[in-house]
Amino acid sequence: MSETMTDNPYGDLFRLDGKRALLVGAGGIGREAALALAAHGARLVCADKDAATAEETAASAGGEALALDVTDRAAVQRAAGEVGPVDVLVLTAATNVRKPILDYAHEEFDRVVSLNLAATFTVLQAFGRGMVERGAGSIIVFSSVRGQVVEPGQSVYAATKAGAIQLVKTAAAEFGPAGVRVNAIAPGVVETPLTAQISADPDWYRAYATKGALGRWAKPSELAGAVVFLASEAASYVTGSTLMVDGGWTAVDGRFTPPT
């Protein structure tokens, strides 16, 4: 007799029913991640520094909204107590100042590091503590291809994204014995407000599109599947990893296609 769907242990592999997920950074990629998590059964808390963004995404995903500035350590600690236990944590919030090192202002350096790296540590610590105490959970931090490869003008952003990967690996090592998984997602070029400067320049846009193997930019929705995977039991033995969702950007050597 053939196996029925109810007997197949893989039928619900990506389901998140009964799971509570906190999404930090509710616009752009974060909004699509929230919709995908909700579609698979998760109950969402959507947090963002901009209250309107949090509320809009929460309304779309059928979840709760939370106004939260993750660069405010005290506010993050309070939120960890107010939100209560979460099974899934997704952190997408980031910023960038694109300038050569010699032109970088210390205030700009501090602003990028404060959000991209220091806040990642704060959020990992505040919400990871509860997950470790309960002995379960999945944490997903957004890094970037810039954590692996760089270009002029990306020094501080790239350093923070590489640093986020190392925080993820360390948290995976420390939280793993308690049953908590910690992973990173590294997108390539995605059409979001953060990349508006590039997409507004036709030559720049085209150069980035042709750098990857797929020859195009990503839509924010194309990152959502990776989030669901890492949040779900489908990734039950995946931790300390960086999932490259970059259209082959880091797989391709150079920008010239030689004759074959």
Nearest to 75 by CA among 112, 9, 116, 119: 119
* pLDDT band at residue 1 using 50, 70 and 90 as cut-offs: very low
Nearest to 230 by CA among 9, 30, 33, 31: 33
pTM: 0.93
d(CA 99, CA 94): 16
For the chain, give the percent of residues with pLDDT over 70: 97
b/e 207-218 (16+ beta carbons within 10 angstroms → b) = ebeebbeeeebb
φ and ψ at residue 137, rounded to 5 degrees: 145, 160
Could you give the angle at which helices 224-231 and 29-39 cross, rounded to 10 degrees?
Answer: 50
Could you say which of 10, 104, 157, 205 is catalytic? 157
Is 208 one of the catalytic residues? no
Answer whether 88's CB lies under 8 Å from 14's CB: no
* pLDDT band at residue 198 using 50, 70 and 90 as cut-offs: confident
* pLDDT band at residue 254 using 50, 70 and 90 as cut-offs: confident
* pLDDT band at residue 59 using 50, 70 and 90 as cut-offs: very high
Type of residue numbered 129 = R
**Hey, how many other C-beta atoms are within 10 angstroms of the C-beta on 92?**
26
Q: Does the structure show a pLDDT above 90 at 236?
A: yes
The residue extents of the domains of the chain are 20-247
**CATH superfamily, region 20-247:** NAD(P)-binding Rossmann-like Domain (3.40.50.720)
* pLDDT band at residue 5 using 50, 70 and 90 as cut-offs: low
- Based on C-alpha coordinates, what's the Rg of the chain? 19
d(CA 258, CA 102): 35
φ and ψ at residue 185, rounded to 5 degrees: -115, 130
For the chain, give the percent of residues with pLDDT over 90: 85
Q: Does the structure show a pLDDT above 90 at 171?
A: yes
Strands 180-187 and 20-24, by their bridges, are unpaired
Q: What is the mean pLDDT of residues 236-246?
A: 98
d(CA 238, CA 246): 19
